[in-house]
Chains A and B, each alone.
Chain A
């Protein structure tokens, strides 16, 4: 038991460390991110003043970097659902140290994604018209409904399993950190005392949330794809779009999680909890999803390419041979084949190999969103010369600010909230060491799985 106690103390110390200690590097990093966001805000102020003319978009290619980034962010928001909900449903125990990060990526990515839709509007001042005059027939309204539902559910799903940890923070940090934090932990821990009844209700709540959130997540990226697939444009006129977007979303979400995991592990010394095993297991998921993506590509392009109807020929030429060929082949080879090999070959099946594969996947998936959006618009609808699109400094700056905001929100979150699900990790550990047959949300059986201590 002594060993267990020291193990627990070490876990708590590690989990509390980011909140109690702040290095100079942290401030430098936050300042850097704020500078990028500030620059993006300046670029956006130009756009507000002059209109969307400051972007590279025009009538014939009327969506560009902003919509690409929107789709990308909504995609990576699927990290949380998959890791957390699906692995929780299937009782995959190894998930416990990484669920919190995954759930937070979901919330942050959804916020960042939603911002990009508003940035793309010609009249952001009228955004509330979507509520005042919303028509349920419009795919945009489906998106608004799906994303707000998903955001609400994700916040709930992030919050619920965090309550016992917040109570632990409340008790352990009393007197050690500033008053507003204690107030915050006190508020958010909703008088958690770790009683048997509380454990029972939180167990039920988490179970309900994890089951609800899976169909919601699937619906979100399906309707995002329907913004495109509901139009009469040749490259988007595809029944596989919804499924393909969901697969791509989970693919890029897992890759993003691996990158965030690697960074936080290094910065906050989580090596004991996040081990090579986690990278390799998630790597297997990534490799499996890469195969699904390849299958999706072949399925989509072979069925249309074999018949090569009007418009398809033009699209295939620009995608595989001309304007977008560099993007496409980087995506297919650099984003699907190489990451798959990095993970499946035993020599590179380690942390570095998996992280490298993830970086490639994230880049490739952004590029994939880009060429889906832009090349779809480029196919001429009438007898005119095909248009071109090149993003301007405003679009690039705003996009950089979006990524900086994503990083900043995660950085700040880690400073305030428990970075790993302490009680779940502890429960998992104790079930292995003390009582192998421990139940899932064992209330009384586990001695004090971060019950937070009484006051």
Chain B
């Protein structure tokens, strides 16, 4: 995944909460308050801010996988890190180990719409949420197999997120297709906390939404909302 921060304005221009997060929540029935892809607002060193959408970084050297006592979280041959909620014992050491704050725990009965309960559970989709286990962004492997771009890529109104295959060296934001390695090199892409050697598969291109006309001194974004009007019976809500 390549996220072009030059094109991310935290959805200020559309006047809505971040649409990548909203699409992800809709698609995965992600319970409140889980923003599997969360748009952080980081300070720029010379003043002003930038928006940083952060999904699971899908590390090639994933600290969470290393510490899991039961192999419930694991790397797939394609390179994504998934969680088997039928095996997870809920010890939460992966959450202690993740340096990106990208893991979420089902503290209670997840607040999801009743239809989420009808889904057949699959490791690649994580629906329905299971109480007492950990969840996170799964890079939509089921969507990839169906030749569809992930929810967040589809949801972005500014086409800031590219999704692709490192081996085939190709990535797409839904509008254009780029040669991934060339695109990364020519735009001085970087990864978060590179010094930790976790080797994320999520790359960023530095920026503050300038390509879509955002002023770095216009701060703030709208808070994410969960759309379900009706929730499963006995659902709990909690904060992160």
Residues of A within 8 A of B (CB): 50-53, 55, 57-60, 62-63, 117, 120-124, 126-127, 129-130, 132-135, 137-141, 144, 227-228, 230-233, 377, 380-384, 387
- A52 near B107 (CB under 8 angstroms)? yes
Which residues of chain B come closer than 8 Å to A124, judged between CB atoms?
89
> Of residues A129, A137, A227, which shows the largest number of chain B Cβ atoms within 10 Å of its Cβ?
A129
Does B19 touch A at the CB level, under 8 Å? no
**Size of interface on B: residues with Cβ below 8 Å to A:** 45
Known: A127-B89, A231-B96. 10 other contacts (CB 8 A): A51-B107, A53-B236, A59-B103, A60-B240, A62-B92, A129-B89, A137-B67, A138-B93, A231-B93, A384-B101
- B63 near A130 (CB under 8 angstroms)? no
Which residues of chain A come closer than 8 Å to B107, judged between CB atoms?
51-53, 55, 57-58
A-B contact count (CB 8 A): 140
Contact of A382 among B43, B100, B108 (CB under 8 A): B100
- A52 near B132 (CB under 8 angstroms)? yes
- Interchain CA distance A121-B107 in the complex, whole Å: 11
Determine the residue in chain B with the shortest Cβ distance to A230.
B67
- A63 near B240 (CB under 8 angstroms)? no
Contact of B108 among A51, A126, A137, A144 (CB under 8 A): A51
Contact of B96 among A51, A130, A134, A228 (CB under 8 A): A228
Does B88 touch A at the CB level, under 8 Å? yes
- Interchain CA distance A74-B37 in the complex, whole Å: 38
Which of B1-9, B68-76, B115-123, B178-186 has 4 or more CB atoms under 8 Å from chain A?
B68-76
Contact of A384 among B40, B99, B198, B236 (CB under 8 A): B40
Determine the residue in chain A with the shortest Cβ distance to B49.
A383
The 6 A-B residue pairs with the shortest CB-CB distance, nearest first, are A122-B90, A122-B132, A53-B108, A140-B69, A138-B69, A53-B107
- A139 near B89 (CB under 8 angstroms)? no
Which residues of chain B come closer than 8 Å to A55, judged between CB atoms?
107
- A58 near B100 (CB under 8 angstroms)? no
Does B146 touch A at the CB level, under 8 Å? no
Which residues of chain A come closer than 8 Å to B66, judged between CB atoms?
137-138, 230
Which residues of chain A come closer than 8 Å to B132, judged between CB atoms?
51-52, 121-123
Does B160 touch A at the CB level, under 8 Å? no
- A383 near B67 (CB under 8 angstroms)? no
Secondary structure call for the A interface: loop
Which residues of chain A come closer than 8 Å to B96, judged between CB atoms?
62-63, 227-228, 231, 233, 377
- B97 near A129 (CB under 8 angstroms)? no
- A122 near B133 (CB under 8 angstroms)? yes
Which residues of chain A come closer than 8 Å to B71, judged between CB atoms?
133, 135
Determine the residue in chain A with the shortest Cβ distance to B43.
A383
- A133 near B90 (CB under 8 angstroms)? no
Which residues of chain B come closer than 8 Å to A228, judged between CB atoms?
96
Which residues of chain A come closer than 8 Å to B133, judged between CB atoms?
122-123
- A133 near B87 (CB under 8 angstroms)? yes
- B106 near A122 (CB under 8 angstroms)? yes
Known: A123-B89, A127-B89, A383-B52. A134 touches B108 (CB 8 A): no
- A140 near B63 (CB under 8 angstroms)? no
- Interchain CA distance A139-B67 in the complex, whole Å: 6
CB distance from B66 to the nearest CB of A (A): 6
> Of residues B42, B54, B69, B198, which shows the largest number of chain A Cβ atoms within 10 Å of its Cβ?
B69
- A58 near B239 (CB under 8 angstroms)? yes
Which residues of chain B come closer than 8 Å to A383, judged between CB atoms?
40-43, 52
CB distance from B122 to the nearest CB of A (A): 19
Which residues of chain B come closer than 8 Å to A377, judged between CB atoms?
96
Which residues of chain A come closer than 8 Å to B63, judged between CB atoms?
231-232
> Of residues A122, A144, A227, which shows the largest number of chain B Cβ atoms within 10 Å of its Cβ?
A122
- Interchain CA distance A137-B74 in the complex, whole Å: 13
